[in-house]
Chain A
Amino acid sequence: MHKYFTVWTLILVSIFVILFLFVLYPMFSIFYASFLSPETGQSSLESYRKIFSLPFYLRCLRNSLWVSALATAISLIIGVPFAFFTSRFHLPGKSLIKTLATLPLILPTFIGAEAWILLLGRNGWFTNLFKQIGIGLPSIYGWQGIVLVFSLHFFPFVFLMVSASINAIDKSLEESAQNLGAHPRQVFTTVTLPIVTPSIVAGALVVFYMSIENFGVPQLIGEDYRVLAVQAYNEFISEMGGNPSMAGALSMVLIIITLLVTLIQKYWVERKSYSMSSLRPPEVRKAKPFFTFCMWFFCIFILFLALFPFLVVLISSVTKTQGPVMYFGEFSLKNLTQAIRIAPRPIFNSFFLSTVATLIGIVFGLAVSYLVVRKKGAVTYLLDLLMILPLIIAGTVLGIALAATYNKGRIVLTGTWMILVLAYFIRKVPFSIKTTSSILQQIDASVEEASINLGVPPVRSFLKVVVPVMLPGIAAGAIIMWVTTLAELSSTIILYYGPWSTMTIQIFQYVGSGDFGPASAYGTILILSVLIPLFFLHRFLGKGMTPTL
């Protein structure tokens, strides 16, 4: 064999070592721990027996499934019409509507939860307002609040996926159905809907998955309503020393659910999806003014519900506060100056950790996509399969696995900032792989071969002619990685320690103790840190952002 292959072989081996050390081995150790009895240390199925027999754990499982299923259903009810209205009809301000509709995906969910508590919580703005006029609003705490926040955050997944598939239907397809004698309504049910169905299912699966793995929202707004992700966390860092066996077993249950969802997605939906070369995009129609208004109002109302809470957080950050009491209407910069001047460390930490994790993620993602796309073979296929793992491991579970594995032994990482970077990098690297590999597929391999043929060795050829072409995609992937890492809570909460607290931890703790002023200050900084890079991404790279998600 040529020297030609050895460099990439070396890279391939390092990738496997990293995956083994920081994904496979930690997952295996909590898997192993879940089969040990917490009392005796002997192998036993006790933890699993408890989960499936004790009412408390059974309720956690049922709660998780219930809120996720309900959030999925509502996301479909919102997302599918949203996609049809904005793809098939002329609506005023449509491009702005479409852009705004992607925002909830990127804004941190637990800030959404905080905002709804600010509005409808025990001491909420609306709650108090309505109390004055004698109306008691239903409680936001518990499953209602969780489902509300999930639905408003995750419906854009359905919207984006369904829109993409509606717009990919060639106009002639519907025309030929009409030509064959189908009534427009029949065309919709026999042609349009069946083609769009796989993407509706795909959207539903993503929403279900995002809901069941979410930790921040149920922890903040759920109160006594326990779900799996929250309970795994509680078992792991319980005041009484924790129960790694139980935390492991709950993690396994969670993984099995997410694995199932991912497998359905990968092997059923992707096979069902129709790819077509759309030559003539579907027609965008002008509806009667009344219907146009109804559709427009629907979209605006949903966007208002989804985005208004973030406005509330922005307003709260410049409002005078005293503990849980907000003096709306009274301006004060106290919270913001305190966050920026007196306690800037969490801000620095968030930026630093995200940046390091993103840089590692770019390099790693580039190497993985290159190997999977260009060096097809049994080993790289295995690599492709292994890269599903970061997708199915919920943040809480990854946090537990890393913390439990690297708190003793030869490599001790628990209690360092490195372990946070590791967790972030593993959680978010799929973004980087997805963007880079999709561009790589579009670049013909002969471009690289041309460079090699002209006398430039393989790795240098890759860096000189392929990477420059991929830069916009790499940048888009990196920005998405960076902003979503900034908002990462579920693994951080398990892995951080004192000096390495992040903005997300600050927000989480201040909301927990009812200090909404400082919570909103950090929340505002976080929202702006997410929105500003996205604005530039959208501005300079056009639609580079949407396919990434």
Chain B
Amino acid sequence: MQVRLNDITKAFGSLKALDRVSLQIERGEFFTLLGPSGCGKTTLLRVIAGFASPDSGNVFFGDQLINHIPPYKRETGMVFQNYALFPQLNVFDNVAYGLRARRVEREKIRSRVHQILEKVQLENLAQRYPNQLSGGQQQRVALARALVIEPRVLLMDEPLSNLDARLRVTMRQEIRKIQKDLGITTIYVTHDQEEAMAISDRIAIFNLGHIQQVGMPSDIYFRPQNRFVAEFTGTSNIMEVEVVAYDPHNSILTSRFKGHQILLRSASKPTGKTVMILLRPEWIKIARDEKESLTNLFSGQVVSSTFMGFMVKYQVKAFEDQMFALEVQDPQEHEIKKERETLYFQFNIDRPVVITS
């Protein structure tokens, strides 16, 4: 089921939780609303579920306008942050709840509940009560309960935030697999950028009630449109550089930062005198002693060096006072630098991304 949101606005008192938000979520898509707490993402999910009514704007499921349909008739399946399992009902009855509300025949309920419990690998625990289950198991019950009614849209509100880090990773893979198997349109809310990128077809980044950017995870990570998106999706080195020259044939921009020349690829000539550029830590390499090329080669002093096994994280002070984060994979390639040592680093002219503030 395609979901369309047109100019949704919702205010709580003077606080605008959603400000003219428009989105189109395609059939079968896994779509994630990502943003810091209080950005409006949960409010948007509740608007779709019908628990919050927008001050203005329209919500469509397919071609049907559903603004005035009460939440219990919207046929959405919602998974809540705290699972919201009914404590007085066992797993089977929790899952069967929505089917009973729809007056499905007893035999059908039995078979559908067992089928879905098998899908979430809980068929042995049907008689357990929620308080006898682990967090991950409760999570699966909540998912099964939402899926068994074959909802038009699956809504998930930070479903993994109460699980430990390891379980979060396994559960998200499982959720993604089940979603793909069933081909169900899913709208997922999270504040965890890594989780969002790992699980989604597309992501919408929210801040202060506005959508900042919508796109595939790789788009958002590699080509963030603004500083907020860049910083929210990963570690960011951001510099404001002066525009010196632009070569339209090769699309190369020559810029200057604190007296040093930086070359980068840019599709068009920047309009202003300065531009903001982003460099992700892993885009920066430690320069070998041979120094094959002098392009975008700089030096800095190591401020901190953190060994993490699969990589080394450096904080480097370069260009007088600019702090840079560097991540070096395969640490054995290079000698691991210590604090106060000098480190040469270099990056490809294709890497820096021009962003707006």
B221 close to chain A: CB less than 8 A? no
**Known contacts A449-B78, A449-B84; A1/B53 CB under 8 A:** yes
Contacts of A3 in B (CB 8 A): 70
Q: Identify 26 residue pairs between A and B in the complex whose beta-carbon atoms are under 8 Å apart, listed by A's number.
A: A2-B53, A2-B68, A4-B71, A444-B82, A446-B81, A446-B82, A446-B84, A447-B84, A447-B85, A447-B86, A447-B87, A449-B80, A450-B80, A450-B142, A452-B71, A452-B72, A453-B72, A453-B74, A454-B101, A454-B145, A454-B149, A455-B98, A455-B102, A455-B149, A456-B97, A457-B72
**Known contacts A447-B84, A447-B86; A453/B71 CB under 8 A:** yes
Whole-angstrom distance between the Cβ of B22 and the nearest chain A Cβ: 23
B291 close to chain A: CB less than 8 A? no
Instruction: Give Cα distance in the complex from A475 to B269, angstroms.
Output: 75
Contacts of A452 in B (CB 8 A): 51, 71-72
Taking CB as reference atom, which chain A residue is nearest B101?
Answer: A455
**Other-chain contact of A456, B68, B72, B80, B85 (Cβ < 8 Å):** B72
Give residues of chain B (73-130) contacting chain A, Cβ–Cβ below 8 Å.
73-78, 80-82, 84-88, 97-98, 101-102
Beyond A455-B101, A469-B88, list 9 extra A-B contacts (CB 8 Å). Answer: A450-B86, A450-B142, A450-B145, A451-B86, A453-B49, A453-B146, A454-B77, A454-B98, A469-B86
**Contact of B53 with A444 in the complex, beta carbons under 8 Å:** no
Give residues of chain B (31-50) contacting chain A, Cβ–Cβ below 8 Å.
49-50
Taking CB as reference atom, which chain A residue is nearest B87?
Answer: A469
Contacts of A305 in B (CB 8 A): none
A465 close to chain B: CB less than 8 A? yes
A458 close to chain B: CB less than 8 A? yes
The proximity string for A residues 192-227 relative to B, scoring 1 for CB distances below 8 Å and 0 otherwise, is 000000000000000000000000000000000000
Number of B residues with CB within 8 Å of any CB on chain A:
30
**Known contacts A2-B68, A449-B51, A450-B78; A455/B84 CB under 8 A:** no
Taking CB as reference atom, which chain A residue is nearest B155?
Answer: A453
A242 close to chain B: CB less than 8 A? no
**Main secondary structure on chain B at its contact with chain A?**
loop
Contacts of A461 in B (CB 8 A): 72
Instruction: Give Cα distance in the complex from A485 to B296, angstroms.
Output: 86
Contacts of A4 in B (CB 8 A): 70-71
**Contact of A458 with B72 in the complex, beta carbons under 8 Å:** yes
User: Interface of B with A (CB < 8 Å)?
Assistant: 49-51, 53, 68, 70-78, 80-82, 84-88, 97-98, 101-102, 142, 145-146, 149
Count A-B contacts at CB 8 Å: 72
Determine which residue in A449, A450, A454 has the highest number of CB atoms from chain B within 10 A of its CB, and name it. Answer: A454
A468 close to chain B: CB less than 8 A? yes
Instruction: Give Cα distance in the complex from A469 to B130, angstroms.
Output: 13
Whole-angstrom distance between the Cβ of A214 and the nearest chain B Cβ: 41
Whole-angstrom distance between the Cβ of A344 and the nearest chain B Cβ: 40
Instruction: Give Cα distance in the complex from A435 to B292, angstroms.
Output: 77
**Contact of B70 with A457 in the complex, beta carbons under 8 Å:** yes
Taking CB as reference atom, which chain A residue is nearest B78?
Answer: A453
* 9 A-B pairs with the lowest CB-CB distances in the bound complex, closest first: A454-B98, A446-B84, A450-B84, A455-B101, A446-B80, A453-B78, A447-B84, A456-B101, A468-B88
Instruction: Give Cα distance in the complex from A455 to B77, angstroms.
Output: 10
Instruction: Give Cα distance in the complex from A457 to B73, angstroms.
Output: 8
Instruction: Give Cα distance in the complex from A455 to B98, angstroms.
Output: 6
Instruction: Give Cα distance in the complex from A455 to B51, angstroms.
Output: 13
Contacts of B84 in A (CB 8 A): 444, 446-447, 449-450
The proximity string for A residues 437-448 relative to B, scoring 1 for CB distances below 8 Å and 0 otherwise, is 000000010110
**Other-chain contact of A455, B73, B86, B87, B142 (Cβ < 8 Å):** B73
Instruction: Give Cα distance in the complex from A447 to B77, angstroms.
Output: 13
Taking CB as reference atom, which chain A residue is nearest B103?
Answer: A455
Instruction: Give Cα distance in the complex from A469 to B77, angstroms.
Output: 23
The proximity string for A residues 4-26 relative to B, scoring 1 for CB distances below 8 Å and 0 otherwise, is 10000000000000000000000
Contacts of A456 in B (CB 8 A): 72, 97, 101
Contacts of A446 in B (CB 8 A): 80-82, 84
**Contact of B72 with A455 in the complex, beta carbons under 8 Å:** yes
Taking CB as reference atom, which chain B residue is nearest A445?
Answer: B84
Whole-angstrom distance between the Cβ of B119 and the nearest chain A Cβ: 18
**Contact of B97 with A454 in the complex, beta carbons under 8 Å:** yes
Instruction: Give Cα distance in the complex from A469 to B87, angstroms.
Output: 7
Determine which residue in A1, A449, A453, A468 has the highest number of CB atoms from chain B within 10 A of its CB, and name it. Answer: A453
Instruction: Give Cα distance in the complex from A59 to B73, angstroms.
Output: 67
Contacts of A447 in B (CB 8 A): 84-87
Instruction: Give Cα distance in the complex from A444 to B82, angstroms.
Output: 9
Instruction: Give Cα distance in the complex from A89 to B17, angstroms.
Output: 54
Whole-angstrom distance between the Cβ of A23 and the nearest chain B Cβ: 32
Contacts of B50 in A (CB 8 A): 2
Taking CB as reference atom, which chain A residue is nearest B75?
Answer: A455
Whole-angstrom distance between the Cβ of A31 and the nearest chain B Cβ: 37
Determine which residue in A3, A461, A465, A469 has the highest number of CB atoms from chain B within 10 A of its CB, and name it. Answer: A465
Instruction: Give Cα distance in the complex from A468 to B101, angstroms.
Output: 17
Instruction: Give Cα distance in the complex from A451 to B88, angstroms.
Output: 13
Instruction: Give Cα distance in the complex from A403 to B74, angstroms.
Output: 52
Instruction: Give Cα distance in the complex from A469 to B84, angstroms.
Output: 13
Contacts of A1 in B (CB 8 A): 53
Instruction: Give Cα distance in the complex from A55 to B76, angstroms.
Output: 74
Whole-angstrom distance between the Cβ of A1 and the nearest chain B Cβ: 7
The proximity string for A residues 463-495 relative to B, scoring 1 for CB distances below 8 Å and 0 otherwise, is 001001100000000000000000000000000
Instruction: Give Cα distance in the complex from A3 to B85, angstroms.
Output: 25
Whole-angstrom distance between the Cβ of A455 and the nearest chain B Cβ: 4
Instruction: Give Cα distance in the complex from A2 to B70, angstroms.
Output: 6
Contacts of B82 in A (CB 8 A): 444, 446
Taking CB as reference atom, which chain B residue is nearest A444?
Answer: B82
Instruction: Give Cα distance in the complex from A447 to B97, angstroms.
Output: 12
Taking CB as reference atom, which chain A residue is nearest B77?
Answer: A453
Whole-angstrom distance between the Cβ of B307 and the nearest chain A Cβ: 35
Instruction: Give Cα distance in the complex from A77 to B88, angstroms.
Output: 45
Taking CB as reference atom, which chain B residue is nearest A454?
Answer: B98
Contacts of A454 in B (CB 8 A): 72, 77, 97-98, 101, 145-146, 149
Instruction: Give Cα distance in the complex from A4 to B52, angstroms.
Output: 11
Contacts of B78 in A (CB 8 A): 449-450, 453
Contacts of A449 in B (CB 8 A): 49, 51, 71, 78, 80, 84
Contacts of B49 in A (CB 8 A): 449, 453
Whole-angstrom distance between the Cβ of A510 and the nearest chain B Cβ: 48
Instruction: Give Cα distance in the complex from A454 to B76, angstroms.
Output: 8
Contacts of B98 in A (CB 8 A): 454-455
Instruction: Give Cα distance in the complex from A1 to B149, angstroms.
Output: 27
Instruction: Give Cα distance in the complex from A451 to B93, angstroms.
Output: 12
Whole-angstrom distance between the Cβ of A471 and the nearest chain B Cβ: 9
The proximity string for A residues 225-263 relative to B, scoring 1 for CB distances below 8 Å and 0 otherwise, is 000000000000000000000000000000000000000
Whole-angstrom distance between the Cβ of B88 and the nearest chain A Cβ: 5
Instruction: Give Cα distance in the complex from A4 to B49, angstroms.
Output: 13
Contacts of A444 in B (CB 8 A): 82, 84
Instruction: Give Cα distance in the complex from A2 to B68, angstroms.
Output: 7
Taking CB as reference atom, which chain A residue is nearest B79?
Answer: A450
**Known contacts A3-B70, A453-B71, A457-B70; A465/B86 CB under 8 A:** yes
Taking CB as reference atom, which chain A residue is nearest B51?
Answer: A449
**Other-chain contact of B76, A453, A465, A469 (Cβ < 8 Å):** A453
Instruction: Give Cα distance in the complex from A454 to B77, angstroms.
Output: 7
Whole-angstrom distance between the Cβ of B141 and the nearest chain A Cβ: 11
Contacts of B80 in A (CB 8 A): 446, 449-450
Contacts of B88 in A (CB 8 A): 465, 468-469
Contacts of A455 in B (CB 8 A): 72-73, 75, 98, 101-102, 149
Taking CB as reference atom, which chain B residue is nearest A461?
Answer: B72
Instruction: Give Cα distance in the complex from A450 to B84, angstroms.
Output: 6
Contacts of B77 in A (CB 8 A): 453-454
